[in-house]
Structure 1
Amino acid sequence: MVKLTYTGEIRTNFDVGETIGRGSFATVKLCTDVFTKQQFALKVVSKDDPAFDEKSLAHEVDAMMRVSHPNCVHLHGVFEEKGKFFLVLDLVTGGTLMDRIIEMNHFSEQDAIHVTRDILVAVEYLHSIGITHRDLKPENLLYASGDPASPDYNTIKIADFGLAKVMSGRSTMSTPCGTPNYVAPEVIDPARGSKVYGPEVDIWSLGVIVYVMLCGFPPFYQTSTPALFKEICKGEFGFPSPYWDGISSQARAFILKTIVKQPKKRMTASECLEHQWIKSGSPDETFSGKLPSR
């Protein structure tokens, strides 16, 4: 794991500008490289904040330093000064996937396929280098640009590697973590005891994201977290009318191969990319009333 000890002062290398976002223990500011004039997002982390955990930040940095993919937010450098850490990140200006879901109510299948393909190529890459994200959700999927005229307007980047796990040697994952509506059953099932889980958790989360994109609401919903977790652990959900009436059987089949209770029965990211729905680009076949078995 890398140590958070980088030399130099942030203002020697960057002009720090206005605040563009806030998190639980961090502020995000616009910054500009004084030499190249390229703009970045600067995550300013206060060591004095009660919510700050240096070990967790070190894990996040360790994961991000290993990642270099066009569909993942890139970490360009880390600086440490008295009382603060500064993380220099890609500047993405298009808002979150959840912002667009709310704006559009739900996506067309063509738009959903485009987003899903971007996520999948990134997840396939992350899994190939031993990284499981563990917190895929629309709020952690960012559009590269907010300008409709930009070629990056529909480009998705995976962000927030705070819960990401780097797998090396005999390392395993057993810590319950993630976001309630998107977490896989093997992470939260109390019956599993201390059993470990694998990168399949990201595929479950992806399936839930696709479901939300296509109809505007999640497959599992309860007002209390314990009730929600109980429903997720059952793994039973449907495609209620009229919300799913015009959606293709290919899309439903894809979801039924990702939101699967048994982890080993879920498709891998590579298999997802080869699925008929993803490869079709824009299916025009609507639901026939018959779904493949799970």
Structure 2
Amino acid sequence: MNASRRTAMALPAQQQHSRRLLASWREDNIKIKRHSSAPPPKVRSTTTSAQASSTATAASSSSAETYDQLSFPMPTFSKALKVMENESYTLRSQATGRRWRAVSSSRECQFGEVLRAVEVTDEEAAASSPAYFAIKELNLDKLREVQGRTYEDPLREVAALQFLSSHPNVLPCTEALWDSDSIYIVTPFYSGGEVFDALTDRGRYEEGEARPLFRQVLHALRHLKIHGVCHRDVSLENLLLDEGNTVKLVDFGLALRIPQKPDGGARVLLPQGPCGKPFYIAPEVLSSSVSSGFDGFAVDVWACGVLLFVMLTGVPPFEMALPSQDQRCQIVAVEERLVDLLSAWGISLSPEAAGLIQSCLRHSPAERPSVENLLRHPWMKASS
């Protein structure tokens, strides 16, 4: 192996232990809002709307198999009554009569904040056994200010959640409310936090620990696929855990409905621009602002490969899925030499785990397995 190739595959000296690896990774990306998704700075599109329209038209005319995404049904909102109480408030749905009292701020988000709340519809029951919820409060002025200028769309998130049927591994929308100042997305509150934070605390997962979590992610994506929906933002930050360690896929602001072929396969979508969390973005999405389209389901499978790699090793396989800019991506995705990279890093995975990850991280979307095939992979069937 030549010197340049050894350099490309070398693990940075300051990242010799998986706990420090993930902590360093997190610190290096502090400039990226953890709970929003945007194009990475190096590849951010600067095309005007007219240029984007021209590009889309050219892409459409060059391939009869390239389509625009379908629209979700319009989301429905109920009128909210917000009553301020000192520094907190109670939110009441005028449609159902359910009431929630905000008790603390959980985190900021792109258009507002997420609050932890307790349902007080039945005061006596709430006092004895409180039910906790999350209220994502989004400022309408902020939403109007960035309308059409950001990839992530909270209204699409509500529409997607209302469009999807209930599933144990997908975030449910309890109610969507509005008043003159804000919209409020009420969902269950999950005390287990993000899988990202759990991984940060432990450094990495053993294969037997990661398997049931990853299986639940695949079940969530299979549910989306049945409904013709791709997520486009699968990441450790967008996986929550409840008190029973059940995975919940969240943040549907980038979700798309995909037109289906007569045989049930996915249509290739028109370029949408590079979006998502940088480490997880598939190569065809990074280049889709130029001419090519993308298969939304294959994009989610790519992200699954990155996700499982990080869970088992504590580090991402590469910084950007552009082989021309990141030689590690060239080695893994184009040359399909993930095992060599792992060996150079001194990381030991079972052949089955490495094979599953490699299959997801193929440069060609057509060569990646379906979610259904991933669930049937030998590694998924192992008992420990």
- Aligned 8 A contact 1:113 1:281 in 2: no
Partner of 2:101, secondary structure, is: strand
Aligned to 1:290: none
Aligned to 1:46: 139
- Aligned 8 A contact 2:155 2:253 in 1: no
Report the residue type matching 2:302 in the other structure.
W
- Between 1:181-190 and 1:109-118, the stretch displaced more is 181-190
Aligned to 2:368: 266
Report the residue type matching 2:381 in the other structure.
K
Q: 1:120-139 counterparts in 2 under 5 A?
A: 120-139=218-237
Partner of 1:32, secondary structure, is: strand
Which residue of the other structure, out of 161, 167, 174, is the alignment partner of 2:258? Answer: 167
Partners in 2 of 1:198 and 1:15 — Cα distance?
Answer: 38
Aligned: 1:252 with 2:354: yes
Q: What TM-score do you get using the length of structure 1 for normalisation?
A: 0.83
- Aligned 8 A contact 1:14 1:31 in 2: yes
In structure 2, the CA distance between the partners of 1:209 and 1:3, relative to structure 1 (3 Å rule), is: closer
Partners in 1 of 2:310 and 2:144 — Cα distance?
Answer: 31
1:207-226 Cα deviation digits (max 9, x unpaired): 1111111111111136x9x9
Identity of aligned residues (%): 27
Aligned to 2:313: 215
Aligned to 2:181: 83
Partners in 2 of 1:126 and 1:95 — Cα distance?
Answer: 22
In structure 2, the CA distance between the partners of 1:135 and 1:173, relative to structure 1 (3 Å rule), is: farther
Residue 86 of structure 1: CA displacement?
A: 0.5
Report the residue type matching 1:75 in the other structure.
C
- Aligned 8 A contact 1:24 1:51 in 2: no
- Aligned 8 A contact 1:136 1:205 in 2: yes
Partners in 2 of 1:195 and 1:233 — Cα distance?
Answer: 21
In structure 2, the CA distance between the partners of 1:227 and 1:242, relative to structure 1 (3 Å rule), is: closer
- Between 1:9-18 and 1:47-56, the stretch displaced more is 47-56
Which residue of the other structure, out of 94, 102, 113, is the alignment partner of 1:27? Answer: 113
Aligned: 1:70 with 2:173: no
1:215-250 Cα deviation digits (max 9, x unpaired): 11111136x9x935x8647724522345423x2101
Residue 35 of structure 1: CA displacement?
A: 2.3
- Between 1:74-83 and 1:46-55, the stretch displaced more is 46-55
Report the residue type matching 2:247 in the other structure.
I
- Aligned 8 A contact 2:272 2:289 in 1: no
In structure 2, the CA distance between the partners of 1:6 and 1:233, relative to structure 1 (3 Å rule), is: farther
Aligned to 1:239: 342
- Aligned 8 A contact 1:174 1:197 in 2: no
In structure 2, the CA distance between the partners of 1:29 and 1:190, relative to structure 1 (3 Å rule), is: closer
Partners in 1 of 2:315 and 2:144 — Cα distance?
Answer: 31
1:173-227 Cα deviation digits (max 9, x unpaired): 52122111111111112696142433110000001111111111111136x9x93
Residue 8 of structure 1: CA displacement?
A: 3.8
Report the residue type matching 1:215 in the other structure.
T
Which residue of the other structure, out of 103, 111, 117, is the alignment partner of 1:17? Answer: 103
Aligned to 2:54: none
Partner of 1:7, secondary structure, is: strand
Q: 1:151-166 counterparts in 2 under 5 A?
A: 152=244, 154-166=245-257
Aligned: 1:97 with 2:156: no
Partner of 1:58, secondary structure, is: helix
Larger Rg: 2
1:102-151 Cα deviation digits (max 9, x unpaired): 11111100011111101011111111111100011111111113xxxxxx
* Structure 2 unmatched runs, 5+: 1-72, 83-90, 93-98, 262-266
Residue 270 of structure 1: CA displacement?
A: 0.9
Aligned to 1:289: none
Residue 28 of structure 1: CA displacement?
A: 1.0
* Structure 1 unmatched runs, 5+: 146-151, 283-294
Partner of 2:205, secondary structure, is: coil
Partners in 2 of 1:268 and 1:3 — Cα distance?
Answer: 29
Aligned to 1:57: 154
In structure 2, the CA distance between the partners of 1:217 and 1:169, relative to structure 1 (3 Å rule), is: closer
Q: Cα RMSD over matched residues?
A: 2.7
In structure 2, the CA distance between the partners of 1:120 and 1:169, relative to structure 1 (3 Å rule), is: closer
Partners in 1 of 2:103 and 2:350 — Cα distance?
Answer: 47
Query: Larger relative contact order (C-alpha < 8 A, sep ≥ 6)?
Result: 2
Aligned to 2:383: 281
Aligned: 1:193 with 2:291: yes
Report the residue type matching 1:46 in the other structure.
N
Partners in 2 of 1:98 and 1:3 — Cα distance?
Answer: 29
